Structure 1
Amino acid sequence: MVRLARERGPMALTLVVVVVLAGCSYGGLQSDAGGNDLGYAVGGAQDADAFRENVESGYLPTTTDITHEGLYYDYYFETGDHECDESFCPAYSRAVTADPLSNETEPYLSVGLNSNLNASDFERERLNLVVVLDTSGSMSSPMAEYYYDGPRTADNETAAEDRKTKPKMDAATDAVVALTDQLEADDRFGLVTFDSGADTVVPLDRMGDRDRTALADDVQSIRAGGGTDLEAGMDRARGLAEGHVGEEGYDTRVVYLTDAMPNIGETSADGLESRLDADADRGIHSTFVGVGLDFNSELVDAITAVRGANYYSVHAAERFEERMGEEFAYMVTPMVYDLELTLDAPGYEIESVYGSPDADDATGELMSVNTLFPSPTEDGASRGGVILLQLNRTGDESTLELTASYEDRSGERHETTEHLRFDDRQPEYFETDSVRKAVLLTRYATLTQHWIEYERATLAGDDPDPPDAGIDESETVALGEWERQSTDLRLSPAYVERFATFRSYFSAEADAIGDDALDQELETMATILETSADGETAVGTNESATTVSPPTD
């Protein structure tokens, strides 16, 4: 899980390193701008859709609905050109800026990890691909509803009617068909379904030996019902895939399509993660595609912090098919493993890491990332790939030595080292718009995570610490550990002024950066601010707030 940094007071001084991974070129994976260059993004979350969709539907998200790496992947970052003989070529730029809430001065350093590779250097490996499809009862609910909410009250019938969409099961089967359209004749495809148990619906065989029309008809005839034994689906998929692992010229991956609410068999996060970790050691990598508004990102975020894993959350049927269609090549093609960034600096130490599912593995001198995936480019900017290091100042020495080492797909280890000085600057200084955008999004994600933690602690009857203090989430679980009911969107008085102040800052920064895509976050913050302090909303349907005395800043 990503460790949250505290919102800091005005006396603290921190240095933050922004790592931007971009600029690689591979054939067969075309950029949105029509060129061949690709960037990189870390594994783990690949969007913040679950956060925005829950807010817009009148529900309080969870903290894992908006991870830093997921939010970064929704945006493009320019990293500049830097020539070298390595696959990764660091290029640095700086920023010094005051936090809009604490007024603390924060220096930043961006590290653009570019590449010297050409499009002709890469062709996608053939795939041993097993799809594991959740067919439990919760998959029968519409994409934009919470299955475990139960009957809606009369006051909410109109809102419920407005939110009716294609059932999750129909959207998922359509997406499986879209996925098979991306496979070539020599790719192997298998399909496993799971509810209270698991079944092999389609054995793992070459697509060239299949009747694609008949396969599509079989997939779309699948219906939902029963419990949710994710462990059984994992075990069945492993049984199909492990006989083909290690074949020259093939990658092996399991794609799980699920709302991630297991209630049968092994349900602990540690137990499920250990299975994915063991699969990765065998060479079987995992992708999760979260289905529906009630997708449990908390579980999937916990279990996919392993080598070669990533996940998406999709709430509109059309976007779901796009993830499994147009973006299929990106999500199944890990390019770099075990990236480590080592800091040798007498005057600094690493305190926290943002933008990586491996953030908790950071030490005072080391940051690690399990996997980098290719990401598209647009007008010279690459999508996602921002990692943020928070450093503590421990001495007067301003020289930093940064060593980046990683393993490529062939297993060869590479290393680059750069020395730099962080010169004295005064706020507001940004050497590039890329650094400015990374700082803005980092502050936004951290604020919203702290807000969600505070609201859920309040609902649980706790007396949470003031917003300036780090707090642990405490949430009352109504059903099984991972079965989600909705919680009405709420904004306590303690966070009204903080969101209003931050939204004004965000708007000014978005104008300065010139990225229209940032408007979606302004709209989300406006929706949060429109929420009354007692948690009542026009579209929320479940759980009333427990009153807790608000803290003072």
Structure 2
Amino acid sequence: MSPSSHSPCCTVIILLLLSYLSHLILSQNSPLSPPSSSSSNNDPCLTMQCASDEICVSGMQDGRMVAKCVSAPREEPSVMESADLSLRGGRMSMPAHSTRAYHSGYAPRAFASPTNTAAYSYSGTLGLTPGGAQDITNARQNIKNDYMPLPDSITYEGIFSEYYFDITGNQQCQEGQLFCPVFQTRVSVDPFTESGNGVPKQENYMAVGLKSSLTAADWERPRLNLGLVLDISGSMSAGMADYYYDFANNTWVRNDAEMITKMKVARESLVNLLQKLKPDDSVSIVVFDDKAELIQPLAKISDIDLTVLAKKILALEPRGGTDMSAGYGMMLKQFKNLTEASGENVENRIILLTDAQPNWGTINPEGLNRLIVDAYEKYKGTGTTFLLIGLDANTQLVELIGKVRGSNYFSIESVPQFKDRLRRTFDYMVTPLMFDLGMTMSSNGYRLKHVYGSPDVNATDENPQLIHVKSLFPSESSARGVKGGLVLLLLEKNENCVGENCDQIQLEVKYETRNGRVHTASRTFAYEGSLPTNEDDDLQDSIRKGILLTRYGRALKFWLQTERKVEHPTRPISPALIWRLGLPVDFPQSNRWELLSQKLTVSPAMKAVFRRLKDYFEEEMRAINDSDMQKDVDVILKLLKAPDTAPPDATPATNIAGEGTTGTPIVGYSTASVSPPLRNLNAGAPAGHAQPLPLGNVNNVNAAGGPLRPRNP
């Protein structure tokens, strides 16, 4: 038999042998020796203060350590560069310009101690920010890519968390006081409505600044038991700018080798996250598709070969369906033997990196929420953080299940963006400082009308708590103030009140610290119930910014709630792999979490709103002098250029403020072309549009929450 007849089989065998030998050779190489501790302690980035859009880089030059501030990277680097890991010859090393890497137990002080956070932020007091959404990145990215985001992707706490507020003023905390709320009041003219007699409507606001006496230099993150749960389901194969389930309409056509997929961003983000852990921290890693797999048992960082672990992570590929409950449940098994609950000395936390589109196992929100509640109540106070990846990440699901004590969530826009966030705020994002903050208001002259910036419910006559926040996390600070440390209250004046005490407001505050102690405080102050003068404005930038961002958020939510259609929740879809191969299959049904894209459109009536909003926003931005707000002006400009669409049929309307039925619109839209008020986004909507979804079982779901259909790769 001729040698050529053996060539295909021999070739395969030879290639396999070469691959195996190469693996053996690589695995024999020893890791790099860590830099000396002195070099890490002398890292000049520890004292360098950079602008919010810059990062500090350090390295050796002419035999000495130097540092400089550079613009944060915007382009997507390669896998190894973006993960800050260069795997050469089986070793883990850093790019030549940087000294920030460690292996198997070594961590430079710049990353080993939470006090390094002060190197990248202001050295003043820490702020506090509520749990829940920490940005509106998903909404902005959808609009940028010509898609309609989900209404739930816009939250007031998410908007506030992206901006700095100078909440200090002349109200100082006492030394050692963990929480000391500070207040500003402002009467503001509503630019969108009239009072009914042609006079612009005035609104009464009060800002609560969430301030602490702790400084970044004084505070230290406790030891961390961290569970990392990574989604490797088929939907993670989609590009960061694509909707995976659009293939049902044959519109998902991008499949080139250069496409930046959700899986690639998730892998590299996970490797970057590992670098923020200290030698005495512990970590476990679980991956899941329609089943879960443990790839790293819970162990101390000092006992883990990070090179091997990083290579294993970077080799993961998307596959199968999406069973979030399986991945989360397997991680809880790793946490069942924890001996110490979250407190002053330790934080137990699970981080899920996912697009939140479950279609297997438990998919109803009650069942998923129960898992997260059980993690906190039955597994030593284990909190949960969601890292959402991709335009099609389902923010509605996370909003429903993420409002649990100790929980928060972020969106990952790109690897460089996430690296910068980790560099600045990792210790903050995994360590809640306070729980169950309750604040009640008593006043004869004012009553609460709405709360903005708290993910939990507003006060009612039956429950007079005007703020209830289940968790408060530390927030970065700079010379410009505290990031996200604001809750805004809209008050209604009692015109029938007479007497000297009508302007008096009494606030009672109650909260619990990490050590389980409950603290209370009270304060009485007078509401300044007149329009501010020009001299006052310089002292009121924070509340003025909060009012502006609230009106911006209300307009976006109003638009999406009225003009974003809801597709039928059980339309047929075809599994990606089978569909690409052209093989016959029994078509499964999509469920409520598997999203299809909707092209960006804005009705002429809403464009009239956004034109008025743009003028108001730009005028206020100049007065406040915050150039960071240009990103939201750009969002408004994008909406003004979007294709027109006819507004949906609607019920009788209210004003854009969405705070009641009084007031006459003055921006060019009529009551026949808008939908119900925003004050209750779950109160209903026109048929076929933005219908609030029930929390019970959905179509094709059995009593246990599992789907009654084939797996969807």
Q: Contact 1:139/1:167 (CA < 8 Å) preserved in 2?
A: yes
3-state SS of paired residue (1:233): helix
- Over 3 Å counting, the alpha-carbon distance change for 1:322 and 1:83 in structure 2 is closer
The answer to whether structure 1 residue 383 and structure 2 residue 480 are counterparts is: no
Which residue is equivalent to 2:512? 407
Q: Contact 1:69/1:385 (CA < 8 Å) preserved in 2?
A: no
- Over 3 Å counting, the alpha-carbon distance change for 1:152 and 1:267 in structure 2 is closer
Which residue is equivalent to 1:507? 618
The higher radius of gyration belongs to 2
The answer to whether structure 1 residue 487 and structure 2 residue 598 are counterparts is: yes
- Over 3 Å counting, the alpha-carbon distance change for 1:174 and 1:365 in structure 2 is closer
The answer to whether structure 1 residue 142 and structure 2 residue 239 are counterparts is: yes
Distance 2:233 2:297 in 1: 21
Alignment of 1:420-439 (within 5 A): 420-426=525-531, 430=537, 431-439=539-547
User: What CA deviation, in whole Å up to 9, does each residue of 1:324-356 have, x standing for no partner?
Assistant: 454321210111111111101123332322211
Range that drifts further, 344-353 or 269-278: 344-353
* Counterpart among 380, 383, 408 of residue 285 in structure 1: 383
User: What CA deviation, in whole Å up to 9, does each residue of 1:224-271 have, x standing for no partner?
Assistant: 110111111111111111311525832110000000000111111122
Offset at residue 166 of structure 1 (A): 1.4
3-state SS of paired residue (1:60): coil
Distance 1:127 1:290 in 2: 21
Which residue is equivalent to 1:532? 643
Range that drifts further, 120-129 or 437-446: 120-129
- Over 3 Å counting, the alpha-carbon distance change for 1:104 and 1:93 in structure 2 is same
Distance 2:259 2:127 in 1: 34
Distance 1:225 1:322 in 2: 29
Residue 481 of structure 1 aligns to which amino acid in structure 2?
Answer: R
Distance 1:329 1:168 in 2: 25
Q: Contact 1:142/1:164 (CA < 8 Å) preserved in 2?
A: no
Which residue is equivalent to 1:11? none
User: What CA deviation, in whole Å up to 9, does each residue of 1:173-198 have, x standing for no partner?
Assistant: 11111111111111111001111111
Q: Contact 1:351/1:364 (CA < 8 Å) preserved in 2?
A: no
Range that drifts further, 488-497 or 341-350: 341-350
Which residue is equivalent to 2:4? none
* Counterpart among 170, 174, 180 of residue 84 in structure 1: 174
Which residue is equivalent to 2:77? none
Range that drifts further, 166-175 or 250-259: 166-175
Which residue is equivalent to 1:171? 265
Q: Contact 1:29/1:36 (CA < 8 Å) preserved in 2?
A: no
Q: Contact 1:40/1:384 (CA < 8 Å) preserved in 2?
A: yes
* Counterpart among 39, 42, 46 of residue 130 in structure 2: 42
Offset at residue 314 of structure 1 (A): 1.5
Residue 209 of structure 1 aligns to which amino acid in structure 2?
Answer: D
3-state SS of paired residue (1:359): coil
Distance 2:164 2:551 in 1: 17
Range that drifts further, 229-238 or 342-351: 342-351
Offset at residue 391 of structure 1 (A): 2.9
Q: How does the TM-score come out when normalised to structure 1?
A: 0.85
Residue 494 of structure 1 aligns to which amino acid in structure 2?
Answer: A
* Counterpart among 436, 448, 466 of residue 350 in structure 1: 448
Unaligned residue ranges in structure 2 (runs of 5+): 1-113, 194-199, 572-589, 652-669, 675-713
Distance 2:214 2:377 in 1: 27
Q: Contact 2:204/2:493 (CA < 8 Å) preserved in 1?
A: no
Which residue is equivalent to 1:442? 550
Which residue is equivalent to 1:13? none
- Which has the bigger relative contact order, CA under 8 A and spacing at least 6? 1
3-state SS of paired residue (1:327): helix
Alignment of 1:360-379 (within 5 A): 360=458, 363-379=463-479
Which residue is equivalent to 2:371? 275
Q: Contact 2:384/2:406 (CA < 8 Å) preserved in 1?
A: yes
Q: Contact 1:196/1:226 (CA < 8 Å) preserved in 2?
A: yes
Which residue is equivalent to 1:303? 401
Which residue is equivalent to 1:181? 275
Offset at residue 505 of structure 1 (A): 0.4
Alignment of 1:467-478 (within 5 A): 476-477=568-569, 478=571
User: What CA deviation, in whole Å up to 9, does each residue of 1:436-465 have, x standing for no partner?
Assistant: 100000110011101101102xx45xxxxx
- Over 3 Å counting, the alpha-carbon distance change for 1:93 and 1:162 in structure 2 is farther
Unaligned residue ranges in structure 1 (runs of 5+): 1-25, 461-474, 536-544
Q: Contact 1:132/1:194 (CA < 8 Å) preserved in 2?
A: yes
Distance 1:356 1:90 in 2: 14
Distance 1:40 1:221 in 2: 38
Which residue is equivalent to 1:259? 355
* Counterpart among 289, 308, 324 of residue 230 in structure 1: 324
Distance 1:387 1:72 in 2: 8
3-state SS of paired residue (1:319): helix
- Over 3 Å counting, the alpha-carbon distance change for 1:186 and 1:101 in structure 2 is same
Range that drifts further, 243-252 or 478-487: 243-252
Offset at residue 508 of structure 1 (A): 0.3
Q: Contact 2:602/2:645 (CA < 8 Å) preserved in 1?
A: yes
Distance 1:427 1:453 in 2: 33
User: What CA deviation, in whole Å up to 9, does each residue of 1:76-105 have, x standing for no partner?
Assistant: 000125142532223322211111101320
Distance 1:367 1:292 in 2: 32
Distance 1:121 1:43 in 2: 22
- Over 3 Å counting, the alpha-carbon distance change for 1:83 and 1:123 in structure 2 is closer
Q: Contact 1:31/1:378 (CA < 8 Å) preserved in 2?
A: no
Distance 2:444 2:339 in 1: 45
Alignment of 1:30-179 (within 5 A): 30=118, 32-35=120-123, 37-80=125-168, 81=170, 82-85=172-175, 86-102=177-193, 103-119=200-216, 121-150=218-247, 165-179=259-273
- Over 3 Å counting, the alpha-carbon distance change for 1:385 and 1:483 in structure 2 is same
Q: Contact 2:204/2:492 (CA < 8 Å) preserved in 1?
A: no
Distance 1:417 1:36 in 2: 25
Distance 2:424 2:186 in 1: 35
3-state SS of paired residue (2:387): strand
Q: Percent identity?
A: 34
3-state SS of paired residue (1:483): coil
Residue 244 of structure 1 aligns to which amino acid in structure 2?
Answer: L
Which residue is equivalent to 1:204? 298
Q: How does the TM-score come out when normalised to structure 2?
A: 0.66
* Counterpart among 425, 432, 438 of residue 340 in structure 1: 438
User: What CA deviation, in whole Å up to 9, does each residue of 1:135-154 have, x standing for no partner?
Assistant: 11001111111101117879
Residue 261 of structure 2 aligns to which amino acid in structure 1?
Answer: P
* Counterpart among 386, 407, 418 of residue 523 in structure 2: 418
Alignment of 1:531-550 (within 5 A): 531-534=642-645
Offset at residue 365 of structure 1 (A): 4.3
Residue 547 of structure 2 aligns to which amino acid in structure 1?
Answer: V
Offset at residue 114 of structure 1 (A): 2.6
